[in-house]
Structure 1
């Protein structure tokens, strides 16, 4: 996926009320119109790639074809009913298989070679849902969140690319993915990124779900939860625990 496409994806913020969009009077609609009118016809310079949630795979295919399948037909974990704030680590053969599925899901983005070389830094389950965070060289990463209970048509959301962000210090965090996306099960919020060597735990105090703990591995962290609490991005306060047992608040943003 190109840097410009990832930047465009970041602009797809569902914060405007749906009723305002068709009239062109919403904040996002006005901003989009102004940007289109001001666009230079010459090729735009390359910009920092955005790393926000992108609906992918079968979820997109269903919408594109106009088909409507009810939960009773396609199955799945409606409304994230099985989701849990404490993740369970995926290990062994299951970890390898989950990583391979994520590579397949993101394969249409054009990053096949980088995905093949990337290794699973994080693989976790929260109820029926599996998150995989693939880590590659040069800051490349691919992320998938998938409903493993679906009997027909996968429910998946993810991101892929290289984020041009600074490496965190030993006690710091740097976000590479932050935002809200939508699946058949509903909206979900995600924050993921790079973690310093002294970081041993990361958590977020959700207004609706309470304390949500992140998974960590190979200098990466990731956590997610149902709802649109992180819609629009902005600064996200995280509680970080260090190897010496001390704790601190670290704010992350894109």
Structure 2
């Protein structure tokens, strides 16, 4: 995998968000204005970070990935998140290593919530893609839901949301991106689109997501801190996440995952940018 086709913006000047700060404060509004006025610029560093504009690096050729959030941002290595200001599950106490499905009603709610967030994110840059995207992944890990919306031409948008918090105070990580030269991954290939570590309420979160080839039937990560973490695999996409900073340097150093194929054989694949 190469890394010379990613577009990022690294915001170095924002302080980490004060958890007691409301999204309506002058500080929050000022930060948001600075974020929105920042022009995207290519950088090739191992810790891509940004709020509201270009961020977590896109693996696909000539692609770009946007991370979007609310008015208060935490700048971290790889991802940007909106903290839960009260309630919810900020310490990931309900998180599970093996994902579970959702009821039809909960799935529809999570998908619609992600779609609306994606439309608003990045100034509506991918609104058309979001509108036609189908839910490729919808999983639950405790109180947290993960949704990936995708199209057949390489767009994917992801939302990881604390579903237990108040509607306006939910912690969330969101990203979106599309390759201008997308091609389907090889039958046994994994191609990362999201890989890194961020923070929410001073607690770290690591995630890996991307495209999976047609011969891949299962993906898992052996975490030093959490044991085996099982990915959700659906419609040519995979996604997993876990509390902690396991994947802090994964984008540059690579991280090995276990892959199972249709014939029952098991191998490994290294995710990186």
Residue 27 (structure 1) aligns with:
none
5 Å-filtered alignment, 1:2-41, equals: 7-9=7-9, 11=10
Residue 56 (structure 2) aligns with:
none
Residue 218 (structure 1) aligns with:
235
Partners of 1:201 and 1:82 lie apart in 2 by 23
Residue 118 (structure 2) aligns with:
106
Partners of 1:146 and 1:245 lie apart in 2 by 33
Deviation at 1:167, TM superposition (A): 3.0
Judged with a 3 Å threshold, the aligned counterparts in structure 2 of structure 1 residues 188 and 178 are, in CA distance, closer, same or farther, namely same
Question: Which is richer in helix?
Answer: 1
For normalisation by structure 2, the TM-score amounts to 0.69
5 Å-filtered alignment, 1:117-136, equals: 117-136=132-151
Partners of 1:122 and 1:95 lie apart in 2 by 10
Partners of 2:182 and 2:99 lie apart in 1 by 26
Deviations 1:161-206 (A, max 9, x none): 1145653211121111111122236221111111111111000011
Judged with a 3 Å threshold, the aligned counterparts in structure 2 of structure 1 residues 51 and 209 are, in CA distance, closer, same or farther, namely farther
Moved more, 227-236 or 153-162: 227-236
Within the alignment, does 1:239 sit opposite 2:258 as a pair? Answer: yes
Larger of the two Rg values belongs to structure:
1
Deviation at 1:137, TM superposition (A): 3.1
Partners of 2:7 and 2:189 lie apart in 1 by 25
**Residue of structure 1 aligned with 2:211, choices 182, 194, 198:** 194
Judged with a 3 Å threshold, the aligned counterparts in structure 2 of structure 1 residues 12 and 204 are, in CA distance, closer, same or farther, namely farther
Partners of 2:69 and 2:177 lie apart in 1 by 14
| 8 Å CA contact 1:55, 1:182 repeated in 2 | no
**Residue of structure 2 aligned with 1:138, choices 117, 134, 153:** 153
Residue 37 (structure 1) aligns with:
none
Partners of 1:249 and 1:165 lie apart in 2 by 24
SS at match of 2:174: strand
Judged with a 3 Å threshold, the aligned counterparts in structure 2 of structure 1 residues 227 and 179 are, in CA distance, closer, same or farther, namely same
Judged with a 3 Å threshold, the aligned counterparts in structure 2 of structure 1 residues 122 and 8 are, in CA distance, closer, same or farther, namely same
Deviation at 1:50, TM superposition (A): 4.1
Aligned residues: 207
Deviations 1:222-252 (A, max 9, x none): 0011112211322111100111111000112
Unaligned runs of 5+ in 1: 1-5, 14-30, 32-46, 65-69
* CA-based RMSD: 2.5
Within the alignment, does 1:92 sit opposite 2:92 as a pair? Answer: no
Unaligned runs of 5+ in 2: 1-5, 13-44, 46-60, 75-82
For normalisation by structure 1, the TM-score amounts to 0.74
Deviation at 1:7, TM superposition (A): 2.2
| 8 Å CA contact 1:55, 1:183 repeated in 2 | no
